[in-house]
């Protein structure tokens, strides 16, 4: 639902400099909303076990929940720190995105799904 706001926050990024507080706050708030709703959907899927793939173990479910909560908290911290210095906000955003790629690549779920599609 809030993925539709990505072009809006990107337009703000294009209108203002990347180092403006408004830009960092709007981009961070957009990602927080996306992650919040992603967590709600994941919570619903894991609450009703029949919706979950049979090969996903409970530790993997917990890892994915934590993998959603931690970036949300970091985005909130980055939003707060963007009011002090937008450079700090940018550094945290980049760190969150890069760590997300690392977690995705090392995820058992990602590898098992990509093997099934072959």
**Per-residue pLDDT tens digits for 54-91:** 888 888 888 888 888 988 999 999 999 989 988 888 89
pLDDT bucket at 106, cuts 50 / 70 / 90: confident
Q: Is the separation of the CB atoms in 19 and 90 below 8 Å?
A: yes
Domain boundaries, the chain: 2-116
Q: How many CB atoms lie within 10 A of CB 83?
A: 12
Residue 43 tokens read as: 């919570």
pTM equals 0.76
Half-sphere exposure of 79 (CA within 13 A, CB side): 15
Segment 30-64, tens digit of pLDDT = 999 999 999 999 899 888 778 888 888 888 888 88
């Amino acid at each position: 639902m809030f993925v539709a706001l990505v072009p809006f926050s990107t337009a703000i990024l294009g209108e203002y400099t990347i180092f403006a507080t408004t830009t960092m706050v709007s981009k961070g708030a957009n990602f927080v909303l996306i992650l919040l709703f992603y967590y709600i959907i994941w919570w619903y899927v894991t609450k009703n076990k029949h919706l979950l793939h049979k090969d996903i173990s409970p530790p993997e479910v917990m890892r994915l929940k934590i993998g959603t909560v931690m970036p949300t908290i970091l985005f909130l911290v980055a939003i707060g720190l963007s009011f002090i210095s937008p450079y700090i906000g940018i550094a945290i955003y980049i760190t969150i995105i890069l760590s997300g790629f690392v977690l995705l690549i090392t995820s058992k779920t990602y590898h098992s799904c990509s093997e099934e599609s072959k």
